Amino acid sequence: MLKFELLQEDKTSAARLGRLTTAHTTVDTPIFMPVGTQATVKTLTPEDLYEIGAGIILANAYHLYLRPGCELIQQAGGLHRFMNWKKGILTDSGGFQVFSLSKLRDINDDGVWFHSHIDGSRHFLTPEKVMEIEAKLGADIAMCFDECAPYPCTYEEAEKAVKRTSLWAGRCKKAHNNDKQVLFGIIQGSVYPELRERSVGELTALDFPGYAIGGLSVGEPKEMLYATLEVTTRMLPREKPRYLMGVGAPEDLLEGVRLGVDMFDCVLPTRLARHGTAYTAEGKITVRNALYAADFSPLDARCSCYVCQNYSRAYIRHLIKAEEILAQRLLSYHNLYFLFQLMAGIRAALAKGEFPSFYREFFHNYISA
């Protein structure tokens, strides 16, 4: 099941406030969804995520199909029970991972042959097989199996990926049969406006309950990301949720909302945590640096999260230097909290009709680098 209500639209941009209801959750949009690729948002428990405010998390069908196997997860009672997560889950189909992680692939219109990045074993995935996997995982929202073209790629390569993505979307829709789970289509087309337009046309003709914008944030310059996003979202149906895949830097969340996106996901907050980096209202800081060795202030003086209320930069830097896991845990918690506060701020501004000033204020303070 899926319900999407538009609560408010910004007058000066494509930004909108909405409410999304799935089988396990109701969340206000625009929303950020933490990534739990392998059935865990790295270092954190579900309780940590509830505390941070997470309502939907991501998991990855490709990864879970390879390890521990979707039959095992089905046997456990589905992904929610397996990982002890009681709210919404969205499973990415693994299209992106098949093309970015696996080896020696052989792709044709039927499906993809690939070798597991874990043990080299050979697998064949088709749109029908991916629907079967996602049904076993039992997420609230499943994604179509798509072909994600790399960046850069020629017009001809991108066109081929669009064609195949549309073909597979039709087969996914036909194979998907699950009244608790909904299926989103994925728009491809690389950075070519004409191909994006064609992809939107072909996917919307299939009438999905929601649309993801794929093939972005794969290495293209920010200007191209924003320009492509703009031409894509403006053609998507107003009344359905729009999900920009793999995008999550604070400045991109702001731009994405401005251009009409409702849902985001990204590994960045937990990956930056592993690298000893924290978000702050003024921009990112590399807590690992000697600069913070005797800095007894919190990661972000404006942040009210558990980490900022209880720990100093100096302590977290010590944990990083001593290779203590608590460093990753505290930084992951803070970075996710920071993004959730940002999204809450965006939603509050949209509700009050003050998105433009919120947007200006954010960029006045935040130095992206």
Length of the chain: 369
* Partners of residue 107 on adjacent β-strands: 112
CB of 315 to its own copies, least distance (A): 6
| Subset of residues 21 to 50 that bind its own copies, contact rule: CB under 8 A | 38-40, 42-46
Residue 329 engages its own copies in binding (rule: CB under 8 A): yes
Nearer to its own copies, 64 or 183 (CB): 64
Which residues fall within 8 angstroms of residue 348, CB to CB, at 6 or more apart? Answer: none
- For 176, the token pair is 């998907």
Task: Measure the CA–CA gap between 189 and 147, rounded to whole angstroms.
Answer: 10
Q: Is 80 in the site for its own copies (CB under 8 A)?
A: no
| Whether the Cβ atoms of residue 159 and residue 196 lie closer than 8 Å to each other | no
Q: Which two tokens stand for residue 321?
A: 């230097």
Q: How far is the CB of 83 from its own copies (least distance, A)?
A: 6
12 versus 100: smaller Cβ distance to its own copies: 100
Question: Does 278 contact its own copies by CB under 8 A?
Answer: no
Of 48, 92, 262, 300, which is the active-site residue? Answer: 92
Q: What is the torsion angle, in degrees rounded to the nearest 10, for the CA atoms of residue 117, residue 120, residue 121 and residue 124?
A: 50
Stretch that binds its own copies, among 100-108, 172-180, 233-241, 324-332 (CB under 8 A): 324-332
Under rule CB under 8 A, which residues in 301-320 are in contact with its own copies? 310-312, 314-315, 317-319
Residue 35 Cβ vs its own copies, minimum distance, rounded to whole Å: 13
Compute the distance between CA of residue 88 and CA of residue 1 in angstroms, rounded to an integer: 12
Residue 45 amino acid letter: T
109 is catalytic: no
Nearer to its own copies among residue 82 and residue 96 (C-beta) = 82
**DSSP code of residue 35:** B
Instruction: Read off the tokens for 137.
Output: 């995982």
92 catalytically annotated: yes
Q: Is 357 helix (H, G, I), strand (E, B) or coil?
A: helix
* Footprint of its own copies (CB under 8 A): 38-40, 42-46, 67-68, 72, 75-76, 82-84, 293-294, 296, 310-312, 314-315, 317-319, 321-322, 324-326, 328-330
Q: List active site positions.
A: 92, 265
